[in-house]
Amino acid sequence: MIEETDISDEKLLNAYKNLIMERVMDKKMLNASRQGFLPFYIPLMGHEAMHIGLGLALRKQDFIYPYYRDFGVLLQMGIPIDTIMSQVFATANDNALGRAMPDHFSLKKYNIGAVITTVAGHLMSATGIAYARKYREIDGGVLTTFGDGATSTPDFHVAMNFAGVYNLPLVFFCENNGFAISVPTYPNESGQTDAYEETKGMIYKKAEAYGFSGIRVDGTNFIEVYKNTRKALENSNNTPILIEAMSYRMGPHSTADDPNKYRKNDVTEGSEKDPVIVSQRLLKEMNILDDNKIKEIEDETEDSSSKLINKYEKAAKPDKNTILDNLYEEEPWYITEERGDLQ
């Protein structure tokens, strides 16, 4: 079935290119990390359609507070690639001087929050940002992303509650990839955990407890993600909303993780639910893509991404003398003293 959409073919094709870019970059960065060029890396495979859909949905006036697995959102948003790569490779050019882990972006000027490692630790911040924008009558919505595991946290409950109570322009976007590291959102056949049942795992339904509504979307379909999220952002002045996007974490949780310990990989690259395959099918049906074009994009991407990785692998690291900067606006005496220790 051809999806109806209000965006141009050109935009869709471009989105597809970004999606492929994310896939290819992901592999190369995982590789870079295995070779020691990246000390840590958070794989993206399986999340691409959500990311590209979100990036398409976000307007200039919107604000996003992402979590740590949202590389592709920034790609699609059009954030300069140097800004993105300098962060991921923690280079001297990173606006945060490589202080945060890879994919922990902080880009105030692009309306992007400061990604935090603590699961759900940003949800109340997003809620407060939504309040501030409402107070200042700023146009646009606020969107925040998080994983399925995050819905078990205190912060999820409290943020949902505040958003409901103050009726904030806030879109809660859950990237449900089926796992919180090794713990599945839903039970799997091997019965490795008896902790979750499908009914308990209906994340989108949790919104009702807070007096607003939740919807579920196909997180492997970037057009569906785009449309629902855009609508939510446009409507969010009336009420908050929770969107649960169903996907699958196709890779390990992080470079420190070995998924073979706890699951069979149900969704593999090239399989029916792979977001790349889904996207190709969608765009082919819309006559935007064909096999030649697919190959062409792949080759181009392969090339450009290799160059990028090479460049940032070799980029200079932050100067150690910056280490004590910017803890406070006015430096305390003991920080000044500690500058001596560095010499």
Partner 1 sequence: MVYYRRKGRFAVTSMTMVKALNSALDNAMERDDSIILLGEDVGVDGGVFRVTDNLIKKYGSARVMDTPLSELGIVGFGIGMSMAGLRAIPEIQFQDFIYTAMDQIISQMAKLRYRTNGDYTLPMVLRTPYAGGVHGGPYHSQSGEEYFATTQGLTVVTPSNPYDAKGLLLSSLNLNDPVIFLEPKRLYYAGKMDVPDDYYTVDLRKAKLLNEGDDISIITYGPAVPLVMNTVKKNNINADVIDLRTINPFDIDAILKSVQKTTRVLIVTESPKMFGVSAEISATLAEKAIDYLSAPILRVAGLDIPIPFALEDYYVPNEKRIMNAVNKIMQYR
Residue nearest to ligand TPP as judged by C-beta position = 147
Contact positions toward ligand TPP, by CB under 6 A? 69, 117-119, 146-150, 175, 177, 179-181, 249, 253
To which H or E segment does residue 71 belong?
Answer: helix 71-77
For its own copies, which is the closer residue by CB, 164 or 259?
164
| DSSP per-residue letters across 285-300 | HTTS--HHHHHHHHHH
Q: What are phi and psi of 202, to 5 degrees?
A: -70, 85
| CB environment 302-316: b (16+ within 10 A), e (fewer) | eeebeebbeebbebe
Strand partners, 63: 142
Query: What residues between 131 and 190 interact with Mg ion by CB under 5 A?
Result: 147-148, 177, 179
For its own copies, which is the closer residue by CB, 187 or 259?
187
Contact mark string toward its own copies, 165..204, x via CB under 8 A = xx----------------------------xxx-xx----
Query: What residues between 31 and 90 interact with its own copies by CB under 8 A?
Result: none
User: How many angstroms separate the CA atoms of 32 and 314, rounded?
Assistant: 11
For its own copies, which is the closer residue by CB, 196 or 262?
196
For Mg ion, which is the closer residue by CB, 53 or 147?
147
- Distances in Å between the Cα of 75 and the Cα atoms of 54, 56, 65, 139, 327 are 11, 10, 15, 23, 30
Contact between 108 and its own copies by CB under 8 A: the answer reads no
For partner 1, which is the closer residue by CB, 14 or 254?
254
Query: Which of ligand TPP, its own copies, Mg ion, none does residue 187 bind (CB under 5 to 8 Å by kind)?
Result: none
Contact between 230 and its own copies by CB under 8 A: the answer reads no
Contact between 239 and its own copies by CB under 8 A: the answer reads no
Query: Which of Mg ion, partner 1, ligand TPP, none does residue 78 bind (CB under 5 to 8 Å by kind)?
Result: none
Nearest to 155 by CA among 126, 180, 120, 125: 120
Count other C-beta atoms under 10 Å from residue 133's C-beta.
Answer: 22
Contacts from 264-271 at CB under 8 Å and sequence distance 24+?
264/190, 266/188, 267/46, 269/45
Strand partners, 170: 142
**Which residue of 65, 71, 210, 248 would you call a contact of its own copies, by CB under 8 A?**
210
User: How many angstroms separate the CA atoms of 114 and 128, rounded?
Assistant: 14
- Sequence-separated (6 or more) residues with CB below 8 Å from residue 38: 29, 32, 88, 89, 102, 255
Number of continuous H segments (helices) and E segments (strands) in the chain: 10, 9
What is the nearest approach in angstroms of partner 1 to the Cβ of residue 72?
Answer: 21
**Which residue of 158, 180, 288, 294 would you call a contact of its own copies, by CB under 8 A?**
158
What is the nearest approach in angstroms of ligand TPP to the Cβ of residue 190?
Answer: 19
Contact 115, 68 (CB under 8 A): yes
Contact mark string toward its own copies, 118..157, x via CB under 8 A = ----------------------------------xxxxxx
What is the nearest approach in angstroms of ligand TPP to the Cβ of residue 253?
Answer: 6
What is the nearest approach in angstroms of its own copies to the Cβ of residue 7?
Answer: 35
Query: Which of Mg ion, its own copies, ligand TPP, none does residue 206 bind (CB under 5 to 8 Å by kind)?
Result: its own copies
- Distances in Å between the Cα of 129 and the Cα atoms of 68, 124, 140, 183 are 19, 8, 12, 31
Strand partners, 143: 64, 171
Q: What are phi and psi of 311, to 5 degrees?
A: -60, -45
User: How many angstroms separate the CA atoms of 245 and 37, rounded?
Assistant: 32
For ligand TPP, which is the closer residue by CB, 133 or 253?
253
What is the nearest approach in angstroms of ligand TPP to the Cβ of residue 100?
Answer: 13
Q: Total binding residues for its own copies by CB under 8 A?
A: 22
Could you list the residues that contact its own copies (CB under 8 A)? 152-158, 161, 164-166, 195-197, 199-200, 205-206, 208-211
